[in-house]
Each structure stands twice: as C-alpha cells, then as structure tokens.
A and B are shown apart, each in its own frame.
Chain A
C-alpha cells in the first residue's frame, strides 16, 4: 500500500514568488491535513480538507491556501513568499476527518531566498 506522496521533495523560490505543493494521500483516505515545520516554531497546523472542503484552519496568514480534489489529492499554495516561509511542509492523510490517526508524507523542503 503506497504511503502519502508529496511532490516536489525540494524547492527553491525567490521572495515574492508563489509556490504550489502537492500531496497524494493513502488510497482510501479522504482527509488531508497540512503542517509547517520550522526549527523555531516546530510543527504547526495549517489546514485540513475533507470532501473537497476546508474543515479546519490554523493561525496562518491568507497567503497560505489549499484545496482538495475529488480524488482526495490536495495542493497547498503560498503566495508572495517571504524568507520566513522557508520550512518543511508536511502533508498527512487520515481515513476520515477528526479523531483518527494521521499518516505523514516525507514533506517538501521549501527554501525562500
């Protein structure tokens, strides 16, 4: 059974640009969550999607957005990149929303220069 797949693995962008990250959940998993991991703040929740709808959102600016497709694949977008957006972005999938275990992908390492 394939795990959670995130692409690309590494990305370098320039300040002011925008970026789109992709996540394919485990087959049969309908919930996808996104987390940002930095040395300064640790792992922080960005948002959760279920049935193509954003169900929950963390405390991040509106520059961070996402969406989920009918096949449960998800993308997150960051516009007007700032240096502080450099981080490991992790996607996690779960069978359903709410109170279930989450399986994480290996993440996308974003560097903003």
Chain B
C-alpha cells in the first residue's frame, strides 16, 4: 500500500526540548516537503528537498532542521530555538521536477508546554 506515513500522530513536549518528527514515503517521489499549519491559516513551507542529501529553506525555517539521507525519509527536528512550536506539521511529497501535485501524510500534532 503506497503512501506517506508520519509518526507520531500526537506529540507532547516540554519547552526547551528538541523533538524529531518522522516522515516516510514509499511512492518513489523525488521531492519531499515540511509544512506547518496554524488554526485559520494556510500551510507555510518550512523546508523542502528535491534530492537526497540536498534541502532548501522554506519561508519559516528558523528553529527547524532537516536531513535527507534516503529518498524515502525526510525527518524534521523542531529545536528549542523555535519560538512557537505548537502546531500541526504536515509532510508532503511530489513526483518529478515539474509542477505536479503534492500528496500529504496524515500529520503530527505537536504541543509544547
């Protein structure tokens, strides 16, 4: 069954702790993305990766880090430097180099207190 998986679904952390969100896809998609969604707002791009071992900052990369060591995996670390980390985090992937649609994983809801 092809798709994108994210884990965990819900995550609770104390302020000051780093946390890593998992994203795996078995669609053989080249590009992968991380977005953040806050209530009543559109999705905002955190990081994206077009190929293995390469990634680019999106619009709100401060306080986040990523890696892309395998085509299938694109984990996101939310560091203690991120001022407002509580949000819904969505991972997406896309095939090819052109303007093709993105497909999303089920998301991770992170709460930091």
Does A pair with B? no
User: A interface vs B, CB < 8 Å?
Assistant: none
User: B interface vs A, CB < 8 Å?
Assistant: none
